[in-house]
Amino acid sequence: MWPLMPAAGHLLILGGLALILAEICLHGFQKIPFTCSYLPGKSPVHLSVLGGLGLLWYLSLSIRYERQILDYPAALAAVIAALAVLATCARLWTQSTARSEAAEVQFEDAPNPAVQELGINRLN
């Protein structure tokens, strides 16, 4: 529906924002997906609702500015360059924490206790 250049610019902006968001979400994440046990009650539903409302507010503002930027190739190039720099910084930030010595892969949410009980002291 859009002409080629605004559509390509829009895709580049969305791709840059997606890279930045993915790197920020993976910062400090040391678990292997689908290997941790599910513990009920840990779902931050209230934060998801607040985040969704904030995202809607951000989208309503960003639509107006993105449409203005897509009309000017110089402004579009500057935004794409800024997103590329931010994505690179986010990637380096995520990699630096993953390489730290304290970063350890977790397989379970709760660590094993220091003292293991055998459960043989029950009176029946």
**Backbone torsion region of residue 44, taken as left when φ is above 0, otherwise alpha when ψ lies between -120 and 50, otherwise beta:** beta
Reduced to 3 states (helix: H, G, I; strand: E, B; else coil), residue 28 is coil
DSSP secondary structure string for all residues of 71-85: T-HHHHHHHHHHHHH
Q: What is the mean pLDDT of the chain?
A: 77
Residue from 76, 72, 71, 75 nearest 14 by CA = 76
> Which ranges in the chain belong to alpha helices (H)?
4-25, 45-70, 73-99
To the nearest 10°, the Cα dihedral for 116, 41, 56, 12? 30
Instruction: For residue range 78-122, list pLDDT tens digits in order.
Output: 999 999 999 999 888 888 766 664 556 666 666 667 777 776 776
User: 31 pairs with which residues across the strands?
Assistant: 106
pLDDT band at 33 (very low <50, low <70, confident <90, very high): low
